[in-house]
Amino acid sequence: MTKRYAVILAAGQGTRMKSSLYKVLHPVCGKPMVQHVIEQLASLNLEQMVTIVGHGADKVKAEIGNRSAFALQAEQLGTAHAVMQATQLEGKEGTTIVVCGDTPLITAETIQSLLDHHEQQGAKATILTAHAEDPTGYGRIIRNQEGLVAKIVEHKDASEQERNVQEINTGTYCFDNGFLFDTLKKVSNDNVQGEYYLPDVIEILKNEGEVVSAFQTPHFEETLGVNDRFALSQAEEFMKNRISKKHMLNGVTIIDPSHTYISVDAEIGRDTVLHPGTTISGETVIGENCFVGPNTEIKDSKIANNTAIKQSVVHDSEIGNDVTIGPFAHIRPQSSISDEVRIGNFVEIKKTKFGKGSKASHLSYIGDAEVGQDVNLGCGSITVNYDGKNKFLTKIENGAFIGCNSNLVAPVTVGEGAYVAAGSTITEDVPGNALSVARARQVNKENYVDNMDVKKKS
């Protein structure tokens, strides 16, 4: 089997993005563009990938990690010059794919089809082309009477007749690796920009009588190169629709896909329903038969089955089975909510273990706490976890009952089955099965108001 390699072009600064973030690091559906390309290539049987870096090289390397080798293009002198830097591949036999790091929509299936076509044709170079309804700005693929590639003409150099051609060069190629590096040495920079262009390799090979082929993908959107924020929004929309379609075909109901955001790495079980305004980001996993939204944000969290999250925010936490959250609840990082829990209106949970069957139904803050099973936290229950310098732990054991408007000043433990009276401020441990009352005793002053009225009249 022919050995296969890949070169990813990721050295450009992307000035049209008008951003301090390097172009290929801009995210599409939660993942940097270049990572989308790397992951699609990684699913193919490749011997080696080489990513060409330049602007922001260290940050691009840090993002990609050890998934690819790297070569530095210190000075950006064109696409052919960029490929020349992949000296790790020079002298190797096989097929090399060249793909741009700003094409996040390209799929492994399309690249595989390009490779297969290239090898079946016995070509020394194969261009991935596409049909564009509006080809303005793209290089045109000009074919001869036999349907073979005659040349690539850039838009600015094309005649009126050539500009009517709608088959465009996508900037993705396959090359016989030996011919690629031999031909790169023949590419000239005798042009207005003084740069070395990869399409010139195609022209040189064609002039030398080598077979140059083209494979037209039916999926024009996959070839979209992101050069500015408008193109970024287009890529985001295409990717968002692709992700939503995948989940819907796998049994997820998305009420309004146009107003639902799902990251590329999210997993969602069947019979789960997503309502409008839902944002699912990061490596979130949602189980089966869940109800999410409307206007809900879940990030980097694991949600089990049969759980409802309504108009709430969940970050970096684990939620069990048969849980109800919201509306207007906030589950902050490092929280673990067990099965059959109820977290209601305007409740904030932070870095807390919340036991099975427990409830905090409204207007509470539970932070840095361990809550046992079957605990009831009344309206206005607060764990006072911060003394201005340090955070402290509150423990509420199984079956405890915390009355409304109670403050538990950490570090403190409420024992199993204990009751805390409404309005209490607890500063010491409460023994199991005890009732703790920590508030001023009520005093009724008879006829007090009548006496006030007398004074007012006088």
Would you state the pLDDT for residue 451?
Answer: 82
Q: What is the structure's pLDDT at 1?
A: 72
Pick the CATH number of 247-436 from 2.160.10.10, 3.40.50.720, 1.20.950.20, 1.20.120.1150: 2.160.10.10
Alpha helix segments (H runs only) across 147-295 = 160-163, 177-184, 199-207, 229-249
Q: Taking a C-beta distance cutoff of 8 angstroms, is the pair 5, 49 a contact?
A: yes
Q: How large is the greatest C-alpha to C-alpha distance in the chain, in angstroms?
A: 117
Which pLDDT band, with edges at 50, 70 and 90, does 443 fall under? Answer: very high
Share of the chain above pLDDT 70, in %: 99
pLDDT recorded at residue 454: 60
Instruction: Give the residue among 333, 293, 296, 290 at the shortest CA–CA distance from 313.
Output: 296
pLDDT on residue 28: 97
For 104-142, give one letter per residue: b (16+ CB within 10 A) or e: bbbeeebbeebbebbbebebbbbbbbbebeebeebbbbb
268-312 per-position pLDDT tens digit:
999 999 999 999 999 999 999 999 999 999 999 999 999 999 999
Residue 35 is encoded by which pair of tokens? 């990572």
pLDDT tens figures, 49-105: 999 999 889 999 999 999 999 999 999 999 999 999 999 999 999 999 999 999 999
Provide the annotated binding site for UDP-N-acetyl-alpha-D-glucosamine: 9-12, 23, 73, 78-79, 139, 154, 169, 227, 332, 350, 365, 376
b/e per residue, 21-52, with b = 16+ CB within 10 A?
Answer: ebbbbbbbbbbbbbbbbbebbeeeebebbbbb
- C-alpha Rg value of the chain to the nearest Å: 32
- Up-side HSE of residue 357: CA atoms within 13 Å toward CB? 9
Residue 458 has pLDDT above 80, yes or no: no
Q: What is the pLDDT of residue 315?
A: 99
Band of pLDDT at residue 153, cut at 50, 70 and 90: confident
Contact 346, 359 (CB under 8 A): no
- Give the tens place of pLDDT for each residue, 15-25: 999 999 999 99
> Helix 199-207 vs helix 177-184: angle between axes, to the nearest 10 degrees?
100
All CATH 3.90.550.10 domain ranges in the chain, comma separated? 4-223
Q: Which numeric CATH code is attached to 4-223?
A: 3.90.550.10
In the chain, which segments carry CATH 2.160.10.10? 247-436
- Tokens linked to 274: 């997503």
Question: Does residue 260 have a pLDDT over 60?
Answer: yes
> pLDDT value at position 453?
66
Please enumerate, as own/partner, the contacts of 286-289 that have beta carbons within 8 Å and a separation of 24 or more. 287/321
Banded model confidence at residue 192, pLDDT cuts 50, 70, 90 = confident
Torsion of CA 160, 161, 167, 170, to 10 degrees: -40
Query: Of 26, 81, 247, 362, which is the active-site residue?
Result: 362
Does pLDDT of 457 surpass 90?
Answer: no
pLDDT in tens, 228-258: 999 999 999 999 999 999 999 999 999 999 9
Assess contact for 293 and 308: CB atoms under 8 A. Answer: no
Nearest residue to 107 (alpha-carbon basis) of 47, 42, 52: 42
- DSSP single-letter state for residue 139: P
Whether 362 is catalytic: yes
Mean pLDDT for 42-50 is 95
Q: How many residues belong to the chain?
A: 458
Give the angle subtended at the CA of 156 by the CAs of 100 and 186, to the nearest 5°.
Answer: 60
Report the relative pairing of strands 31-32 and 27-28 from DSSP bridges: antiparallel
d(C-alpha 312, C-alpha 331), whole Å: 8
Is the pLDDT higher at 337 or at 136? 337
In 3D space, the residue among 355, 441, 349 whose CA is nearest the CA of residue 400 turns out to be 355
For position 2, what pLDDT does the model report?
86
- Annotated binding site for acetyl-CoA: which residue ranges? 385-386, 422, 439
Would you list which residues are annotated within the binding site? 9-12, 23, 73, 78-79, 102, 139, 154, 169, 227, 332, 350, 365, 376, 385-386, 422, 439
pLDDT over 60 (residue 414): yes
Q: Does residue 218 have a cis bond before it (omega within 30 degrees)?
A: no
Binding-site entries for Mg(2+): 102, 227
Q: What angle do CA 284, 288, 291 make, to 5 degrees?
A: 80
What does the mean pLDDT of the chain come to? Answer: 95
